[in-house]
């Protein structure tokens, strides 16, 4: 269960899926974590807005991009927030750096309302290896509905 989470939603979803699958969690952490101000997409000059406007700025160095005993996993979940319709780019470096040959790869995202759209496909192209599945999205309105349903 490899995931990146800036504000905690994807971390919650990853924890939930890891519980259900007895998976091992691996959090992707940028060398320089994004602050709330960095993530302000309403501000054209915020860190993410600048990276979004200029793709060449979007290479994010990670604290670690290799997983211990990588060869022993045959299924890898990759979780991320949706940023402007695609996977938050801190996952790109991980996907590029690892060999997914003979692995089942299941992308999932959290978002305000978007689905996965092409995000999984784009990551599969970046990876170049692996059997990438359709995956699933956990938009917040659905999470809220699930909570409401549970509360009865
Ligand atoms: C820079 C940025 C861009 C976003 N773009 C979208 C978007 O295009 N569609 C959407 O539904 N949500 C969008 N969101 C909302 C996040 O996807 C959502 O809050 C997500 O659950 C955050 O995950 P996290 O708590 O793991 O960081 C965006 C959030 C940020 C910070």
| Ligand 1 pocket mutation, candidates 3, 111, 114, criterion most atoms within 8 A of CB | 111
C-alpha–C-alpha distance, residues 29 and 105, integer Å: 20
For the segment 73-91, the average pLDDT, to the nearest whole number, is: 97
Over the chain, what is the mean pLDDT?
93
Tracing tokens 């999932």 back to the chain, one arrives at: 108
Q: What is the pLDDT of residue 140?
A: 83
E strands in 1-152 = 2-3, 26-27, 75-83, 86-87, 104-111, 131-132, 136-139
3-state secondary structure of 71: helix
Q: Are 83 and 89 in contact (CB under 8 A)?
A: yes
Assess whether pLDDT exceeds 60 at residue 147: no
For the segment 51-64, the average pLDDT, to the nearest whole number, is: 92
The proportion of the chain whose per-residue pLDDT surpasses 70, expressed as a percent, equals: 93
- Which residue ranges have their beta carbon within 6 Å of ligand 1? 5-11, 39, 41, 48, 81-85, 110-114
C-alpha–C-alpha distance, residues 56 and 65, integer Å: 20
| Ligand 1 pocket mutation, candidates 112, 119, 137, 143, criterion most atoms within 8 A of CB | 112
Domain count, the chain: 1
Give residue 139's pLDDT band: very low, low, confident or very high (50, 70, 90): confident
Q: Which of 10, 23, 1, 41 is nearest to 143 (CA)?
A: 10
C-alpha–C-alpha distance, residues 134 and 121, integer Å: 8
Q: Are 87 and 109 in contact (CB under 8 A)?
A: yes
Q: What is the pLDDT of residue 99?
A: 98
CATH number of the domain encompassing residue 10: 3.40.50.360
Q: Which domain holds residue 112?
A: 2-151
For the segment 85-106, the average pLDDT, to the nearest whole number, is: 97
C-alpha–C-alpha distance, residues 19 and 95, integer Å: 23
Q: What are phi and psi of 80, to 5 degrees?
A: -160, 160
Q: What is the pLDDT of residue 148?
A: 66
For the segment 77-86, the average pLDDT, to the nearest whole number, is: 97
Q: Which atom of ligand 1 lies nearest, measured to the CA of 8?
A: 25
Q: Which helix (H) or strand (E) holds 109?
A: strand 104-111
Q: Are 122 and 92 in contact (CB under 8 A)?
A: no
For the segment 26-43, the average pLDDT, to the nearest whole number, is: 96
C-alpha–C-alpha distance, residues 140 and 82, integer Å: 11
């Amino acid at each position: 269960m490899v995931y990146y989470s800036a504000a905690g939603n994807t971390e919650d979803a990853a924890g939930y899926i890891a519980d259900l699958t007895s998976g091992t969690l691996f959090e992707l952490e940028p060398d320089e974590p994004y602050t709330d101000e960095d993530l302000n997409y309403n501000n054209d000059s915020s860190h993410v807005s600048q990276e979004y406007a200029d793709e060449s700025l979007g290479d994010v160095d990670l604290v670690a991009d290799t997983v211990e005993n990588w060869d022993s996993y045959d299924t890898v979940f990759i979780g991320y927030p949706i940023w402007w319709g695609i996977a938050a780019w801190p996952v790109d470096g991980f996907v590029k750096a690892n060999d997914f040959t003979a692995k089942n790869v299941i992308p999932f995202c959290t978002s305000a309302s978007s689905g996965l759209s092409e995000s999984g496909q784009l990551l599969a192209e970046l990876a170049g290896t692996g059997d990438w599945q359709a995956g699933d999205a956990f938009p917040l309105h659905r999470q809220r509905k699930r909570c409401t349903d549970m509360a009865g």
